[in-house]
Amino acid sequence: MSLTETAYRDITVRFPAQIIIGKHSLLKLVDEVSQAGYTDVIIVTIEPLLPKLAPLISQLEAQNIKVTVDTSIVREPSFADFDALLDTVRGVKAQAIIGIGGGSVLDAAKVLAAQLDNTQTLGEIAGIGNLKQRNAKLICVPTTAGTGSEVSPNAILIDDADNQKKGIISPFLVPDVVILDPELTVSLPAPITAATGLDALTHCLEAYTNLFAHPFIDMYAYEGMRLIAANLIKAVEDGSDEDARTQLAIGSLLGGFCLGPVNTAGVHALSYPLGSMFHLPHGLSNALLLPYVMEYNLPAAPKRYADVARALGCNSGATDEETARNGIAKIREMIAQCGIPATLSAAGVNREAIPEMAEDAMKITRLLKNNPRPITLPDAIGIFEAAF
């Protein structure tokens, strides 16, 4: 199957009902909640954000809205982490769940909105299309420009039974309201800005070069790559650059649009074991592997990777392959400028773990099937070895 053969396949795109973008737009959340007549909400967030959220919480409470705040999600959530969260708030009769944070927080909030009154277990809803309902309103406010979770139908949790990341993919996980307030990302440390930005770039890049790429999604993927490439280093070097932060946040959101109808591919599949085995942040895992998977995939889609290079701001070479290689070099340059590890060894990964990582990656068939070039077990081992 080729990219051309899939270009006009049927796709279904589900966008949030409302997206609000702008400085101080977080406070518009009060109107969203009060005008809907809600009297009880749960905010899932992280403790460092509480000072920034204090005015919001005060305004909600001034409207006689009961606010329950949970800050228990401090890493990529496991099934056990989520069950503990659910037990904590089970007695709350919330009409709305509000996630304010990075991808882990947003994923937990999305699943919580569905599971508050759902009899299905996490094991039953894992996979594609298994979640059958969500009754609570869902509002997501990202504080990193990276995961795109705020607009995607995906949530990722780690199954404690086998230590594997499991995707929950359902239209019921698409939020009702998304608030993009770039001011919330201004205080984000440079290493997190870098890793999450490169994660967002990977969403766009893998969607554009995906075996199931689609013209309707291409426009989001291409523009997302352009915005992120043009602004990531600016935001890393000067976190107070509001324009760069805004452009990054929009680029991340565009990457999120790609995750439902097209999704990611080999980079993400191979990155999963880095998170589950070595607890590397998801964005860093993707950034580490991105140039190596690009090199592996290039022979299968040189024209697409040439387009990627141009979106990254590279000049065209004499051939598509030359142009594409300029793009790979640009990615390596961005990683270096971001100051994050460029190899698995620099990130603390043990070479002895490569065979097990490769075997675990081969289980992520829902993403591997999207890759423009098939990845076998020996191929996965080879990519990890190259990245070491």
* Token duo for residue 62: 């001034």
Residue 10 placed within a domain: no
pLDDT, position 145? 86
pLDDT, position 48? 93
Q: Are residues 181 and 254 in the same domain?
A: no
pLDDT, position 187? 85
Residue 56 placed within a domain: yes
* Token duo for residue 190: 């440079």
pLDDT, position 147? 85
Q: What is the mean pLDDT of residues 80-103?
A: 94
HSE of 171, CA atoms in CB hemisphere, 13 A: 7
Q: Are residues 324 and 240 in the same domain?
A: yes
Least confident of 23-32, 36-45, 294-303: 23-32
Any idea what DSSP says for residue 78? Answer: B
Contact 76, 87 (CB under 8 A): no
Q: Are residues 245 and 371 in the same domain?
A: yes
HSE of 18, CA atoms in CB hemisphere, 13 A: 11
Contact 104, 184 (CB under 8 A): no
pLDDT, position 3? 52
Q: Are residues 122 and 251 in the same domain?
A: no
Contact 172, 226 (CB under 8 A): no
Q: What is the mean pLDDT of residues 172-184?
A: 94
Q: Are residues 153 and 217 in the same domain?
A: no
Q: What is the mean pLDDT of residues 14-30?
A: 92
End position of a domain, from candidates 139, 158, 185: 185
Q: What is the mean pLDDT of residues 343-355?
A: 94
Inter-residue long-range contacts of 374-380, CB under 8 Å, 24+ positions, other chains counted: 375/266, 375/269, 375/270, 375/296, 379/296, 380/270
pLDDT higher than threshold 60 for residue 169: yes
CATH of the domain at 242: 1.20.1090.10
Residue 82 placed within a domain: yes
End position of a domain, from candidates 185, 219, 238: 185
End position of a domain, from candidates 185, 207, 242: 185
Phi and psi torsions of 351, nearest 5°: -60, -35
Q: Are residues 302 and 368 in the same domain?
A: yes
Q: Are residues 23 and 164 in the same domain?
A: yes
Residue 1 placed within a domain: no
Q: Are residues 212 and 96 in the same domain?
A: no
CA–CA separation, 154 and 364 (whole Å): 15
Least confident of 161-165, 302-306, 339-343, 357-361: 161-165
Alpha carbon of residue 387 to chain centroid:
22
pLDDT higher than threshold 80 for residue 4: no
pLDDT, position 279? 87
pLDDT, position 35? 92
pLDDT band of residue 9 (cuts 50, 70, 90) is: confident
Least confident of 206-210, 280-284, 306-310: 280-284
* Token duo for residue 73: 């999600």
Alpha carbon of residue 37 to chain centroid:
31
Q: Are residues 60 and 94 in the same domain?
A: yes
Q: Are residues 32 and 117 in the same domain?
A: yes
Neighbours of 2 (CB within 10 A): 10
Residue 51 placed within a domain: yes
The total number of structural domains that make up the chain: 2
Q: What is the mean pLDDT of residues 168-182?
A: 95
pLDDT, position 8? 66
Q: Are residues 130 and 224 in the same domain?
A: no
Contact 99, 109 (CB under 8 A): yes
Which domain, by its residues, includes 366?
A: 187-387
Q: What is the mean pLDDT of residues 142-161?
A: 91
> Where is 66: in which H helix or E strand?
strand 66-70
Residue 146 burial (10 A CB sphere; 0-12, 13-18, 19+): buried
CA–CA separation, 170 and 290 (whole Å): 27
Q: What is the mean pLDDT of residues 321-337?
A: 97
Q: What is the mean pLDDT of residues 237-247?
A: 94
HSE of 51, CA atoms in CB hemisphere, 13 A: 2
Please state, for a pLDDT cut of 70, what percent of the chain lies above it. Answer: 98
Task: Tell me the per-residue pLDDT of 245-295, one tens digit each, with 9 for 90 and over.
Answer: 999 999 999 999 999 899 999 999 999 999 888 989 888 999 999 999 999
Any idea what DSSP says for residue 370? Answer: T
pLDDT, position 211? 95
Question: At which residue do the structure tokens 């829902």 appear?
Answer: 366
CATH of the domain at 44: 3.40.50.1970
Q: Are residues 195 and 220 in the same domain?
A: yes
